[in-house]
Amino acid sequence: MNEIKTISIHGAREHNLKNISIKLPRGKLIVITGVSGSGKSSLAFDTIHAEGQRRYVESLSTYARQFLGNIKKPNVDRIDGLSPTISIEQKNTSQNPRSTVGTITEIHDHLRLLFARIGIPHSPKTGLPIERQTVSQMADRILSYEQGTRMYLLAPIVRNRKGEYKKEIAEILKQGFQRIKIDGNLYQISEAPNLEKNYKHNIDVVVDRIVVHENIRSRIINSLKTCLTLTNGLATAEIINSQSISSVQSMDDDTTNASPQYIVFSERFACPISGFSVSEIEPRTFSFNNPAGACNNCDGLGISQKIDERLVIPNPKLTLNDGAIAPWFIPLSQYHTKILTDLGKILGFSLEDNWCNISEDVQKILLYGTNNITYQCFNRNNLNTNFSFKGIIPSLEKRWKESDSKTMQEMIQRYMSSSPCVICNGYRLKKEALSVKIDGMHIGEVADMSIKKAQAWFNQIPTKITPKANEIAKSILTEIDKRINFLVEIGLNYLSLSRRANMLSNGESQRIRLASQIGSGLTGVIYVLDEPSIGLHQRDNTKLINTLKHLRDLDNTVIVVEHDEETMLAADHIVDIGPEAGINGGKIIAEGSPSQIIANPNSLTGDYLSGKMNIKIPEKRRACNIDRMIRITNARSNNLKNITASIPLGLFTAVTGISGGGKSTFLISTLYKAALRIVMGSRNTPGIYDRIDGLEYIDKVVNINQSPIGHTPRSNPATYVGAFTPIREWFSNLPESKVLGYKAGCFSFNVKGGRCETCEGNGVTKIEMHFLPDVYITCDVCNGKRYTSETLNIRFKEKSIADILSMTVEESMDFFVTIPAIYNKLKPLKDVGLGYLKIGQTANTLSGGESQRVKLAKELSKQATGNTLYILDEPTTGLHYHDIAKLLEILHTLVDKGNSIIVIEHNLEVIKTADWILDFGPEGGDDGGKIIAYGTPEDIAKEHTSHTGRFLKNILKNKQSAENVP
């Protein structure tokens, strides 16, 4: 039988694809590229992957399919040579707070198994190991001591408990025992002293006194069995150093000065000294997703929420009357005014006092209450009454716990912050699980290590454990090592296994899932990936490319939607789709090897790869004004190493460095949140720093990130940029609408009136796929148009409201060119390169890069202040060279108007155009968090310790290269 060597696609027409037919080689690394909106994802994800998923579901039994519903067939005539497909997209990042790097990669499952099999419990109080042993193992341990070693075999019947214990001691005497140790002293039981009942005591029954020699094994076993019976499974051997006992002393003489050594034996996991016990140790003991292991206080989340006084008093410079106490100011009610006035008379403050001028003792009373101390005041009837003040924070906490009102809980939640759980210290697990250690580390500490350090720790484990434990752990460690190697290979060695999935960037999330797929060892599969190079420094690109090739070499076909030059040049086959976006795209412009693409005169991608076209390096960079800078002193959140940095305003600044180097912590978590709090009056909590200067030079700060513009099918670009409201109003003013009494609300799919109630205006119904991603099925009542037939009968220029929403940005701009209220709202979308998007395209189908540019378009439509600080995180995500040139033109225009732009970026095409660079490193995670270099790109290129500088140096050599042709 001949092996199928190609994936043959015939007549693909999904979205903007122009009935294309193409043969892709199987078992190869294939890159699909082209300008944004040209149809790359339509071919890769909406045609190839969608058909692969549909065929998989159809292969299931009828019984299984009834739970999954029908999946729409892509608009394609046929696909031959298709094998099962797996997609790894940007927008599939898990938002589940229980999902971590360790759980996604299954390393945590193997880690749980490792601790369950070879971990040793330790008492949290004494630090002693708690080992469960058989009587035979206990005897072996005793006999392992040097012959002639003397010891007592003790039964610990009381440990660290108050009482007189007369009955217990009398019962021991009845059983025929002669000696007892009380609080470390040896007595004849008949001569035992009376115990003070209010003091804690330790009592051990002396079951036997032995001298170790080879013929004593059976006696030791019998004595140990007696100890275990008396104590429900515990025994202690007290060893006396024989060398320090003179020949004339006997074991009855307890006057030796030698310090005894104790061996604790247990048939169960329990500490004989502290009483701490551990139940049967299983893998689920270490699962924070299972009640058997999850911390009861935080339910395995590792964090707890509490009222944060910094959010309750966001601006200490305000007076009480002007809203210093944020939860009470709506404005300040008569009830709260009365309370504060009465307290003020007693404690010596007034409502006109600034919070920061009130003494710390009084602030504490206002926040946390009078601690049951009562004060006298006059009530409304002028009668003298006593009252105590509960405090702002305790009152909010009480209402949070007791209120059934969701609105009230959401209001109070604005004044709460998350902090590590005080019971499990953020490790998510019960103390029993955290008591189990391997080489002195519990599972939470191992998960908190960077992957690089964890790899080293796992590698040295065989040298730290017994041969028997080694035999048990060998196969588990092999699986862990294999998965950790994959993470290291794709440049994620700076992450920790405990890192939450919802704290990962899109690029990190995608690469982690890529590592998981390599670990699964599947063959014969078609993998479809969406820009895996996102967020990756140029230095680590080679590692990613080798990983993709590894996946290919497992006899898989790897299809990558990508714009990265190095990835394209490493591909076996490239498909260039274009020539433009939207209705002007959807055609195969060129295909073949990288050299064939470069030689093809029709390929825009080939022109950029060959250097015929490029993004121009500025002839002159904007000068840095040292008098207008933002300066942060001693920033030290996450991995930041107490850094102090200055960022000049009025420039285009790039924050660069190795992934995990501290860029986002510095720029987003610290600078942005601090500016948001100080400039915009936000209540968020920034990262830790000592001071920040220079914010007086800006009047607005905007973070244009890649988070979705909405999470439901109702959110779309038109609603986000504010274009849909004037469109609805225009339709409501049409003569037909006025006759029927249709208002603007009738053309909204968010409220009842004109929308389809079967799908509630979504146009689709969601089918939960359980073990597959959820699928949205077109509503069979409105056929995806969202509205009732009566609403759709209202037309403008023969177009219904649904027809308008199906237009691209460019089409709708032409349609509304004579209506400025609509046209001007849509134009910024085209300016940022999104002319191909349908204005009604659902938000959950937009990529992270598209969502970011929709947000940028909204900002461009606003009135510019000239003193705005714009922050963007990797704005080139999803962009072709040609699109990057257009985006840079917009961003530099904003700077020319007096605004400041700071971007986190790895793309050298952007970095080379910056006025100023702040380079972080030198590595990621614990080895990062420092500023390696700062200055112009030319300054960075001269810095030998900068990875960014090394790559910039080569690009800046070609400063006289060809002019950019946007």
Question: Which residues pair with residue 767 across a beta bridge?
Answer: 775
Q: How open is the CA angle 200-206-211, to the nearest 5 degrees?
A: 135
Of the candidates 760, 765, 802, which has an alpha carbon nearest to the alpha carbon of residue 785?
Answer: 802
- Looking at residue 699, what DSSP letter applies? S
369 assigned ligand-binding residue: no
Residues 864/897, Cβ–Cβ less than 8 Å: yes
**Residue 659 labeled ligand binder:** yes
Q: 130 is written with which tokens?
A: 């708690």
Question: How far is the C-alpha of 195 from the C-alpha of 215, rounded, in Å?
Answer: 39
Q: Is 663 annotated as a binding residue?
A: yes
Binding residue per annotation — 40? yes
Give, as one character, the DSSP assignment of residue 260.
P
167 is in an annotated binding site: no
660 touches 503 (CB < 8 A)? no
Q: Is 39 annotated as a binding-site member?
A: yes
Question: Shortest CA distance to 447 belongs to which of 104, 927, 93, 111?
Answer: 111
Q: Which residue has the tokens 């960014």?
A: 948
Does the annotation list 897 as a binding residue? no
The β-bridge partners of 902 are: 653, 871
Residue 939: name the closest of 914, 964, 903 by CA: 914
Contact 795, 764 (CB under 8 A): no
Ligand-binding annotation for 658, yes or no, is yes
**Rg of the chain in Å (alpha carbons):** 35
| CA separation for the pair 591, 141 (Å, rounded) | 72
851 labeled binding residue: no
3-state class (DSSP) for residue 936: coil
SS3 content of the chain, % helix, strand, coil (to 5): 40, 20, 40
Question: Interhelix angle for 467-489 vs 541-553, to 10°?
Answer: 110
Is residue 52 annotated as involved in ligand binding? no
Pair of tokens at residue 704: 């244009």
DSSP per-residue string spanning 444-499: HHHHHSBHHHHHHHHHHGGGTS-HHHHHHHHHHHHHHHHHHHHHHHTT-TTSBTT-
664 annotated binding-site participant:
yes
C-alpha to C-alpha distance for 854 and 846, rounded to whole angstroms: 10
User: Are the beta carbons of 328 and 455 closer than 8 angstroms?
Assistant: no
Residue recorded with tokens 């390599």: 518
Provide the 3-class DSSP secondary structure of residue 434. Answer: helix
Candidates 771, 809, 815; CA nearest to 795 is: 815
CA contacts within 13 A on the Cβ side of 363: 16
Which 8-state DSSP code applies to residue 565?
H
Whether the Cβ atoms of residue 877 and residue 849 lie closer than 8 Å to each other = yes
Tell me the backbone φ, ψ of residue 461, rounded to 5 degrees. Answer: -55, -45
Q: What's the token pair of residue 228?
A: 């275990």
Q: Give the C-alpha separation, 68 to 54, whole Å.
A: 11
Pair 511, 544: CB distance under 8 Å = yes
The reply to whether 748 sits in an annotated binding site is no
Between β-strands 868-873 and 775-778, what pairing exists: parallel, antiparallel or unpaired?
Answer: unpaired
CA dihedral (510, 516, 522, 524) in degrees, to 10, reads: 10
| 630 strand-pairing partners | 647
Q: From residue 794, how far is each of 506, 710, 755, 811, 915 by CA, in Å? A: 42, 28, 13, 20, 53
Exposed, middle or buried: residue 453 (CB in 10 Å: 0-12, 13-18, 19+)?
Answer: middle
d(CA 3, CA 144): 65
| Residue 503: Cβ-neighbour burial (10 angstroms; 0-12, 13-18, 19+) | middle
Rounded to a whole number of angstroms, the distance between the first and last alpha carbons of the chain is: 51
Q: Would you list which residues are annotated within the binding site?
A: 34-41, 657-664
Q: Which residues are annotated as a binding site for ATP?
A: 34-41, 657-664
